[in-house]
Amino acid sequence: MIIEPQVLNEVLLLKPLVYKDGRGHFFESFRQNLFEEIGLELNFVQDNEVFSTDADILRGLHYQLKNPQGKLVHVIKGAIKDVVVDIRVGSPNFGKSVILNLDSKTHNMVFIPEGFAHGYLVLEKGTIVQYKCTNYYNPSSEYGICWNDEELDIKWGLSDPIISDKDSKLPKLKDQKNLPLFV
């Protein structure tokens, strides 16, 4: 597996070695010792799977404050535009983002550390996204940032996504009072 730090160094793109033959394919989607070799001691405690019926569904930008979650995101079927935003108060990269296209053809994955907001745009009907989390989901600790915050300048590629009622009410980054600190 090739691990590539992104513009936000803590965000990692993982490119697995995919072995294909006439029967299908095989690859390692997670290997603890590879993370340990680069100094990340992770303990994944929860796996989540999300099925999206249509393209143009936008989920996010989400994060947990009291129970922050690192995430390892993988597309099982379909494709997404994955967005990670550094929202750690005091970070030199505060408000900056990384945008990666992930799909079930390459099986590339992204590791999102704690303290970052995460969201994605579904690019294909029937997309299935799976992600491992370093902390349990806690609804009382969940916060978010408005997907179309002009100051974040995220190039989603559309102006009218399908979005949940909850996500449509999220504040802009400058108005969010509950943010993690840069340590």
Give the Cα separation of 41 and 33 in Å (integer). Answer: 9
Per the CB < 8 A criterion, the answer to whether 43 and 35 are in contact is no
131 catalytically annotated: yes
Comparing CA positions, the residue from 103, 108, 38, 99 lying closest to residue 72 is 108
Per the CB < 8 A criterion, the answer to whether 82 and 99 are in contact is yes
Active-site option among 25, 62, 107, 137: 62
Give the Cα separation of 21 and 44 in Å (integer). Answer: 31
How far lies 29's CA from each of 9, 71, 73, 179, 183, in Å?
Answer: 21, 13, 10, 31, 29
Active-site option among 131, 136, 137, 143: 131
Give the Cα separation of 69 and 85 in Å (integer). Answer: 14
Please count the helices (runs of H) and the strands (runs of E) in the chain: 2, 13
Give the Cα separation of 171 and 176 in Å (integer). Answer: 6
Question: Catalytic site residues?
Answer: 62, 131
